[in-house]
Every structure is written in C-alpha cells, then in structure tokens.
Amino acid sequence: MIGDHRTHAAFSARAMIRAALAMVVALWPVLAWAHAEQGRAAGFLAGVHHPISGLDHVLAMISVGLWGAQLGAPAIWLLPVTFPVVMAMGGMLGLLGVHLPGVEIGIIFSGIVLGLTVFAEWRPPMGLAAAIVGCFAVFHGHAHGVELPAGASGLTYSIGFVMTTGTLHAVGIGIGVIHRWGWGRLALRASGACVTTAGLFFLWKVLA
C-alpha cells in the first residue's frame, strides 16, 4: 500500500514536471516573438554569413592573420586591427553609394598579393604593411556595404560581419602560431602559395 502511494507520488511529480515543461514550451514562442522590433537577428546572421560567403574574402582575411603572425609584434595585432577599421570605411562608402571601380578585381588581387607576402615572408616597414592591408580592405568593405540586404538591421548586420572578419583574422593568427617551428614556417609559406594560386584562379574566372 505504502509502495503504491510512493509510486503514485513519484508518478505525480513526473507528471507535474512534464506539464511544466510543456507549459514552458507552449509559452516560449510568445516570449520570443513579443518584441517591438523585428529583423535584428536576421540582420546579425546575414552579417555573420556575408564574409564567409565567398572564398576570395575568406582567403584574404585569413592571409592577413597569417602575415601578421609571420611578422610578429606589433604587426600580429596591428594588421588585424587595421583591416576591419579600413574595411568599415570602405563599407561606409558602399552604403553611401560612392562608386569604386574594380572592386571585384581589387578583392581578387588582395588574395594574390597577400598570399605572395606570406609565401615570400616579406618584411616591409610596418607602415607599408598596414597600408597594403588597408588598401585591400577598402575593396572588401565596399563589397559588403553595397550588398547589405534590404530590410536588414544595419547595426546588427555590421556587428555580425565585423565579428566574423575579426574571427577569420584570429584563425589566421592561430594557424600562424606554427611559425615558431621550422616545418611550420615552410607550411605557412606553402599556404601563402596556395592562396595566391586560388587568387589567380579567381582572376582567370573573372577575366575568362
């Protein structure tokens, strides 16, 4: 009898938990959609996705991190700081409708040149390295600005793609850690050659 009572009590407790969970699930959409503003999450996700939507963008941004890692401090953080800021300036130009000729070619050349710098392990003065990275960042940013999807939240879109861009640089820096070993230096230079080859392939596709 006592056992039955305990079984019944345990069953009731389980039933109550299930009912509570069902209630939470039932209420969830109401809480989630009770926002005065809409489209923010979509804007953020569009921003996160945009920089990784094209291999030409991805390779160039990772190459910035790789080159920074090869050059060491302060380039390891200065180049990845320069790129997003100047890219945002380019994005602003794109948003304002300022025409920039040869954006697609500029993006492709960024991959070719940055890949070559990694391949050659080129060590220019810091200012020149930042200028090269910044120059190409304008083209990438302009493309982002022009392609801002209609209706997307500009702010959350911007946050999303700045975060993704920074993360891609961080991936490059992370890979670049292998530069401390002899085989790692060779591997980095080989990856630079691969980036340049990919850039040449993209160029051929555009010109063909």
Please report, as ranges, the residues that interact with other proteins according to CB under 8 A.
Answer: 30-31, 34-37, 77, 80-81, 84-85, 87-89, 91-97, 145, 148, 154-159, 162-163, 166
**Closer of 74 and 102 to other proteins (Cβ):** 74
Q: Which residue has the tokens 């999450």?
A: 41
Nearest-approach distance from CB 89 to other proteins, in angstroms: 6
Question: CB atoms < 10 A from the CB of 180, how many?
Answer: 10
Question: CB atoms < 10 A from the CB of 145, how many?
Answer: 22
Nearest-approach distance from CB 201 to other proteins, in angstroms: 29
Residue 100: DSSP 8-state: -
Cα–Cα distance between 93 and 141 in angstroms, integer?
Answer: 8
Nearest-approach distance from CB 129 to other proteins, in angstroms: 16
**Closer of 25 and 36 to other proteins (Cβ):** 36
**Closer of 84 and 106 to other proteins (Cβ):** 84
Q: At what angle do helices 55-71 and 75-95 cross, to 10 degrees?
A: 150
Cα–Cα distance between 67 and 121 in angstroms, integer?
Answer: 8
Nearest-approach distance from CB 162 to other proteins, in angstroms: 5
**Closer of 82 and 196 to other proteins (Cβ):** 82
